[in-house]
């Protein structure tokens, strides 16, 4: 069966509550005339304090075309973990997806592969979908260790998951040098790495799981790049940063994936 594309907008640390509500409404306005069945899975990931506003806008619209994600979570269920949010709390706030292992969290907040693995398990056991990020730095690419590094990130992230849990997960391949730089990774090269990731999943689980899992590309995705990216055999969608911050450009990317 063909994999349903996913277009996810990672808003990072942007948008106050009113801005989040306006952007959410703007995206739904742009997608109003589109047939829900033909749309990709569309996901927006506001920061914690704007989840309520975005969720309210989505619920009030009731069209069900756009789903909510968080940008991070903690793997424990509750307790003395000042500043953290559990998966259950994020589910309660309306989230169906949670981004984990983003390179910015790894770089600035010390998120390790082991934490990504614990978070993935907590997310899946609560019935939500993890969007598991991986990607190499420019130094790693230049040193020729891209595939080795990414295989290691994926192997550690998926440790002790069942094949069924793995098949439900989403991976985002985001080369760090392509994030926020305007330098999109060449589509064929992104597809090569993503096919390599699919092969790692096949080795960890089985062929059926590797065929089912959705693997996205992220890193300077724009309306002008999405069609070529979606035309590749193994790219199942995009994790979009900067271009997800305006309704018009995000909707163009969504439509480019149809």
Contacts to ligand 13P by CB under 6 A:
10, 102, 174, 179-180, 218-221, 239-243
Nearer to ligand 13P, 9 or 24 (CB): 9
Residue 108 beta carbon to ligand 13P: minimum distance, rounded to whole angstroms: 13
Please pick, among 30, 41, 102, 104, the residue that the annotation labels catalytic. Answer: 102
Nearer to ligand 13P, 105 or 159 (CB): 105
Residue 103 beta carbon to ligand 13P: minimum distance, rounded to whole angstroms: 7
Nearer to ligand 13P, 51 or 209 (CB): 51
Nearer to ligand 13P, 103 or 209 (CB): 103
Residue 240 beta carbon to ligand 13P: minimum distance, rounded to whole angstroms: 5
Please pick, among 30, 104, 111, 174, the residue that the annotation labels catalytic. Answer: 174
Rg (CA), the chain: 17
Residue 146 beta carbon to ligand 13P: minimum distance, rounded to whole angstroms: 17
Give, in order, the Cα–Cα distances in Å from 196 to each of 85, 149, 220, 234: 33, 12, 21, 10
Nearer to ligand 13P, 179 or 230 (CB): 179
Residue 71 beta carbon to ligand 13P: minimum distance, rounded to whole angstroms: 9
Tell me the residue nearest to ligand 13P as measured from the CB: 241
Distance of CA 99 to the CA centre of its chain: 5
Catalytic status, residue 174: yes
Nearer to ligand 13P, 8 or 85 (CB): 8
Residue 138 beta carbon to ligand 13P: minimum distance, rounded to whole angstroms: 14
Distance of CA 161 to the CA centre of its chain: 19
**173 CB-contact burial (10 Å; exposed 0-12 / middle 13-18 / buried 19+):** buried
Active-site residues, by number, are 102, 174
């Amino acid at each position: 069966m063909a994999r349903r594309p996913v277009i996810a907008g990672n808003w990072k640390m942007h948008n106050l509550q009113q801005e989040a509500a306006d952007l959410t409404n703007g995206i739904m306005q742009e997608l109003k005339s589109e047939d829900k069945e033909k749309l990709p899975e569309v996901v927006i990931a506001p920061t914690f304090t704007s989840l309520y506003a975005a969720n309210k806008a989505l619920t009030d619209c009731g069209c069900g075309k756009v789903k909510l994600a968080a940008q991070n979570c903690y793997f424990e269920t509750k307790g003395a973990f000042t500043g953290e949010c559990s998966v259950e709390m994020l589910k309660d706030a309306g989230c169906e997806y949670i981004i984990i292992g983003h390179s910015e969290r790894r770089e600035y907040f010390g998120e390790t592969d082991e934490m990504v693995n614990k978070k993935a398990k907590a997310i899946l056991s609560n019935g939500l979908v993890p969007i598991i990020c991986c990607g190499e730095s420019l130094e790693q690419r230049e040193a020729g260790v891209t595939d080795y590094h990414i295989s290691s990130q994926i192997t550690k992230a998926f440790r002790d998951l069942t094949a069924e849990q793995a098949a439900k997960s989403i991976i985002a391949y985001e080369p760090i040098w392509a994030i926020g730089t305007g330098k999109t990774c060449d589509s064929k090269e992104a597809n090569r790495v993503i096919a390599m990731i699919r092969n790692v999943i096949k080795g960890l689980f089985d062929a059926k799981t590797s065929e089912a899992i959705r693997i996205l590309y992220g890193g300077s995705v724009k309306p002008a790049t999405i069609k070529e990216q979606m035309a590749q055999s193994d790219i199942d969608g995009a994790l979009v940063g900067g271009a997800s911050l305006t309704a018009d450009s995000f909707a163009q990317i969504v439509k480019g994936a149809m």
